[in-house]
Structure formats: C-alpha cells, structure tokens
C-alpha cells in the first residue's frame, strides 16, 4: 500500500506536492477523514484508485461514524499513513496490538 | 461508563487497587486487550459485568483481530480508558474524529 501511495505522489505535480505538504504542516491535531484526505492533497477519486474501489464507496466511508478497524486501516494506509489504536488512561497510554497483523482489507 | 468503572474500583480492596496501580505504572507501551485488562487489575468477569454481557463474549472480543470501532470503544471504556484512533504520517499525527460521538455500544 505504501508503495502505491508513493506512485500516486510521484504522479502529482511539484506544485500539488508542495501544496499538500504545506497543508500537512498546518494540519490540526484532530479532524474527520474527509478533511484529512483534503489535507493530504488527495481527491476521493485518487483514494478510490489506490483502494481499487469506486469513488462513491470512499464518500460512504467518509460519512460513517462506525466501521471495522480493518476498513479504517486500509483507508488510512491508502493516504500514506499508519493507523494506531490507542487506549488512554489517567496514568498512561497503551497501543492496542490485537489489530497489528491485519492485512490491507478494502471491504467496507 | 466511567461512573460504572468508578463503582467497580470502589469495590476493590485497597491491596487490589494498589496492585492494579503499580501494574499500570509498569505497563508497556504496546499490548493486546487481554494483557491490558490484566494490567488494569480486572478479570473477564468484572469487565463482562460493566458491559452487561456474558464472560465468554469478553473472551471472544479479546481474541479478535478485527472488530467495529464502537465495540472496541465500549471495551476500553469499560476498563476506565478512552479510545483514540490516530493516523500517523511521516510529517505529523492526526486524531480521527469521525467516531467521537459514538455512544457506548456493547454489541460485538
């Protein structure tokens, strides 16, 4: 998936890349999936291509308030990121590893 | 959910609480759900009570490698924690907010 993202990025013009990078720098710490995609300089169409699904499926995922962790992981990996699932407690933070071995799974 | 956890903790002996706290301090940064539960000083039975489900359902959840985000959130909240879903990129980290408004949902 990371390789495919690199291919996608290579196809972007230097201007688009610079724009995406400056937007990434300015990224807020918290946002929904559609804003994150835009901040990465990606269209729904580009994401759909990476995931080998149709564009409406991307739109549908971005509107969801619940989904399988594997679906979210594929979605974030298609944007060139890594998913971390974290449990926060008053006395510490733990990364949950149950889902670490999931392969890319593009089904919604 | 947090209130119920507080009730649960109030029922623990001071020794149990101290043990849970020292284990929490010693928590590794990364672990699966069953180890996290043990590190919090909780049994499957205690968690099952908080979530109003049967103990075997807890065992089943702990063995899973994929689940709905709402299921994981309920599970972590029942342990007194908060779930964060985070996308990590080479140039920054973003908390995904799509799932923030989910109510507690104990269905697996």
User: Which residue in chain A is spatially nearest to B40 when comparing CA positions?
Assistant: A89
pLDDT digits (tens, 9 = 90+) for A45-101: 999 999 999 999 999 999 999 999 999 999 999 999 999 999 999 888 999 999 986
Are B94 and A36 in contact (CB < 8 Å)?
yes
pLDDT at A60: 97
pLDDT at B92: 87
Average pLDDT over residues B59-66: 96
Are B69 and A69 in contact (CB < 8 Å)?
yes
Residue A22 has pLDDT above 60, yes or no: no
pLDDT higher for A28 or A23?
A23
Residue A24 has pLDDT above 90, yes or no: no
Nearest Cα of chain B lies from the Cα of A54 at a distance, in angstroms, of 21
Under the banding of pLDDT at 50, 70 and 90, the label for residue A5 is low
pLDDT higher for A28 or B42?
B42
- State the count of interchain CB pairs (< 8 A) between A and B: 145
Under the banding of pLDDT at 50, 70 and 90, the label for residue B105 is very low
The mean predicted confidence, pLDDT, of chain B is 83
pLDDT at B19: 67
pLDDT at A29: 74
pLDDT at B100: 80
pLDDT at A23: 56
Helix or strand or coil: residue B96?
Answer: strand
Residue B1 has pLDDT above 50, yes or no: no
pLDDT digits (tens, 9 = 90+) for B65-99: 999 999 999 999 999 999 999 999 988 899 999 99
The CATH label, of 3.30.70.960, 1.10.260.40, 3.20.20.140, 3.30.43.10, for the domain at A2-95 is 1.10.260.40
Q: Which residues contact A21 (CB under 8 A, 6 or more apart)?
A: A41, B91
Which residue among B32, B80, B98 sits closest to A65, beta carbon to beta carbon?
B98
């Amino acid at each position: 998936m990371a390789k495919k993202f690199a291919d996608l990025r290579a196809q972007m013009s230097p201007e688009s890349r610079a724009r995406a990078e400056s937007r990434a720098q300015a990224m807020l710490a918290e946002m929904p999936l559609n804003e994150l995609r835009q901040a990465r300089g990606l269209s729904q169409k580009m994401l759909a291509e990476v995931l080998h699904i149709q564009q409406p499926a991307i739109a549908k995922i971005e509107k969801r308030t619940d989904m399988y962790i594997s679906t979210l992981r594929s979605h974030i990996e298609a944007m060139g990121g890594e998913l971390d699932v974290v449990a926060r407690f008053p006395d510490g933070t733990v990364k949950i590893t149950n889902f670490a071995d999931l392969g890319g799974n593009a089904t919604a």
